[in-house]
Protein backbone atom coordinates (compact mmCIF):
# COMPACT_ATOMS: atom_id res chain seq x y z
CA UNK A 1 0.00 0.00 0.00
CA UNK A 2 1.10 3.52 -0.71
CA UNK A 3 1.63 6.09 2.02
CA UNK A 4 2.04 9.85 1.81
CA UNK A 5 3.72 11.85 4.56
CA UNK A 6 3.56 15.60 5.11
CA UNK A 7 5.78 16.44 8.05
CA UNK A 8 4.85 20.12 8.38
CA UNK A 9 1.45 20.48 10.07
CA UNK A 10 1.54 24.28 9.82
CA UNK A 11 3.57 26.89 8.01
CA UNK A 12 3.49 30.65 7.77
CA UNK A 13 4.85 32.96 5.08
CA UNK A 14 4.69 36.67 4.46
CA UNK A 15 2.96 38.03 1.43
CA UNK A 16 5.23 38.13 -1.67
CA UNK A 17 7.69 35.68 -0.12
CA UNK A 18 8.43 32.11 -1.19
CA UNK A 19 7.50 29.00 0.77
CA UNK A 20 8.16 25.29 0.23
CA UNK A 21 5.88 22.53 1.47
CA UNK A 22 7.35 19.06 1.89
CA UNK A 23 5.94 15.69 0.92
CA UNK A 24 7.39 12.22 0.86
CA UNK A 25 5.74 9.03 -0.26
CA UNK A 26 6.34 5.34 -0.23
CA UNK A 27 5.50 3.03 -3.11
CA UNK A 28 6.87 0.08 -5.02
CA UNK A 29 5.18 1.25 -8.21
CA UNK A 30 7.09 2.71 -11.13
CA UNK A 31 4.17 4.33 -12.94
CA UNK A 32 2.18 6.76 -10.85
CA UNK A 33 1.07 10.35 -10.53
CA UNK A 34 1.51 12.94 -7.81
CA UNK A 35 -0.69 15.90 -7.03
CA UNK A 36 -0.94 18.90 -4.78
CA UNK A 37 -4.44 19.94 -3.80
CA UNK A 38 -5.51 23.09 -2.00
CA UNK A 39 -8.46 23.13 0.40
CA UNK A 40 -9.60 26.62 1.43
CA UNK A 41 -12.26 27.20 4.10
CA UNK A 42 -14.90 26.58 1.42
CA UNK A 43 -13.86 22.90 1.80
CA UNK A 44 -13.59 22.24 -1.93
CA UNK A 45 -10.45 20.41 -3.00
CA UNK A 46 -8.79 22.38 -5.79
CA UNK A 47 -6.04 20.90 -7.94
CA UNK A 48 -2.88 23.02 -7.78
CA UNK A 49 -0.36 21.02 -9.77
CA UNK A 50 0.30 17.47 -10.99
CA UNK A 51 3.36 15.44 -11.94
CA UNK A 52 3.77 12.22 -13.88
CA UNK A 53 6.40 9.95 -12.37
CA UNK A 54 7.99 9.10 -15.71
CA UNK A 55 8.63 12.77 -16.50
CA UNK A 56 11.94 14.04 -15.17
CA UNK A 57 11.03 17.66 -15.75
CA UNK A 58 9.45 19.33 -12.76
CA UNK A 59 5.92 20.63 -13.30
CA UNK A 60 5.16 24.33 -13.03
CA UNK A 61 1.87 26.25 -12.95
CA UNK A 62 2.33 30.00 -12.75
CA UNK A 63 3.56 30.71 -9.19
CA UNK A 64 3.50 27.04 -8.24
CA UNK A 65 6.28 24.58 -8.98
CA UNK A 66 7.38 21.21 -7.69
CA UNK A 67 10.69 19.56 -6.92
CA UNK A 68 10.18 15.91 -7.83
CA UNK A 69 12.93 13.57 -6.68
CA UNK A 70 11.84 10.08 -7.73
CA UNK A 71 14.69 8.16 -6.19
CA UNK A 72 14.20 9.92 -2.88
CA UNK A 73 10.40 9.66 -3.21
CA UNK A 74 10.07 13.33 -2.49
CA UNK A 75 7.59 15.78 -4.00
CA UNK A 76 7.77 19.31 -2.58
CA UNK A 77 5.66 22.30 -3.59
CA UNK A 78 7.14 25.76 -3.96
CA UNK A 79 4.84 28.77 -3.91
CA UNK A 80 6.46 31.97 -5.17
CA UNK A 81 5.17 35.49 -4.58
CA UNK A 82 2.73 34.22 -1.94
CA UNK A 83 -0.68 35.87 -1.89
CA UNK A 84 -3.29 36.14 0.86
CA UNK A 85 -5.55 33.93 -1.23
CA UNK A 86 -3.03 31.11 -0.95
CA UNK A 87 -4.02 30.66 2.70
CA UNK A 88 -5.44 27.12 2.88
CA UNK A 89 -4.74 23.50 3.72
CA UNK A 90 -2.45 21.88 1.18
CA UNK A 91 -2.57 18.16 0.57
CA UNK A 92 -0.07 16.03 -1.28
CA UNK A 93 -1.63 13.04 -3.02
CA UNK A 94 -0.51 9.90 -4.85
CA UNK A 95 -2.36 8.01 -7.55
CA UNK A 96 -1.60 4.73 -9.21
CA UNK A 97 -3.57 4.51 -12.45
CA UNK A 98 -5.91 1.55 -12.73
CA UNK A 99 -8.34 0.28 -15.32
CA UNK A 100 -12.09 0.57 -15.23
CA UNK A 101 -14.24 -2.50 -14.60
CA UNK A 102 -11.27 -4.11 -12.89
CA UNK A 103 -12.48 -3.61 -9.35
CA UNK A 104 -9.49 -1.40 -8.72
CA UNK A 105 -10.08 2.31 -8.80
CA UNK A 106 -7.69 5.09 -9.69
CA UNK A 107 -7.89 6.45 -6.17
CA UNK A 108 -6.01 9.27 -4.51
CA UNK A 109 -4.01 8.58 -1.35
CA UNK A 110 -3.63 11.82 0.59
CA UNK A 111 -1.20 13.03 3.20
CA UNK A 112 -2.42 14.66 6.42
CA UNK A 113 -1.98 18.15 5.03
CA UNK A 114 -0.08 21.34 5.78
CA UNK A 115 -1.94 24.42 6.92
CA UNK A 116 -0.43 27.45 5.19
CA UNK A 117 -1.05 30.94 6.52
CA UNK A 118 -0.03 33.90 4.37
CA UNK A 119 0.40 37.07 6.42
CA UNK A 120 0.77 40.75 5.56
Partner 1 sequence: ETGVTQSPTHLIKTRGQQVTLRCSSQSGHNTVSWYQQALGQGPQFIFQYYREEENGRGNFPPRFSGLQFPNYSSELNVNALELDDSALYLCASSQTGTWYNSPLHFGNGTRLTVT
Residues that bind partner 1 (CB under 8 A): 4, 33, 35, 42-47, 50, 52, 91, 93, 97-98, 100-113
Query: Please, which residue, 101 or 120, has the CB nearer to partner 1?
Result: 101
Q: Whole-number minimum distance, CB 22 to partner 1, in Å?
A: 15
Contact 31, 53 (CB under 8 A): yes
- Cβ of residue 106: shortest distance to partner 1, in angstroms? 6
SS (H, E, C) 68-109: EECCCCEEEEEECCCCHHHCEEEEEEEECCCCCCCCCCCCEE
Q: Which is nearer to partner 1, 23 or 79 (CB)?
A: 23
* Residue 5 vs 18, nearer CB to partner 1: 5
CB atoms within 10 A of CB 65: 17
- DSSP at 117: E
Cβ nearer to partner 1, comparing 44 with 57: 44
Cα 35 to Cα 64: distance, rounded to the nearest angstrom: 12
Find the shortest distance in angstroms from Cβ 79 to partner 1. Answer: 19
Amino acid sequence: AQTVTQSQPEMSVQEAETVTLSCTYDTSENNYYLFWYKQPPSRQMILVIRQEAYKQQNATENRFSVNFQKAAKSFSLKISDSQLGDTAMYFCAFMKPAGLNTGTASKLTFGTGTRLQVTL
